[in-house]
Amino acid sequence: MRFASHLVDIANDFREKNLASNDKIDDTRLSKRWEDHQPKRSESRGGPYMCVHLRRKDYVHSRKGQIPSLKGAAEQIKLKMNGLLSKGIQ
């Protein structure tokens, strides 16, 4: 997925100022053209933050029974963060 360049600029500025994070340090550089993107596995990818895409209402109709409660979703996120912190990833 690619985002509008002005939004990427805003996000990059926030990462640099608040998280000491950038694409070079985090090994998250993308090719200029999406058609040239070649995914690769790497343990070093990502910065000192977690992004969560929490889906709710659109799944109510298509995936009944697979939707955690908000409390359950928060617990899953907390477990993941604790796992990252225990590995020394901050």
Predicted confidence at residue 34, as pLDDT, reads 86
Residue type, 89: I
Note the pLDDT tens digit of each residue in 13-72. 999 999 888 988 888 888 888 889 887 777 766 777 788 887 766 666 666 677 778 888
Q: What is the mean pLDDT of the chain?
A: 81
Residue listed under structure tokens 């799944």: 59
Q: How far is CA 7 from CA 10, 26, 62, in A?
A: 5, 19, 30
pLDDT of residue 88 exceeding 70, the answer is no
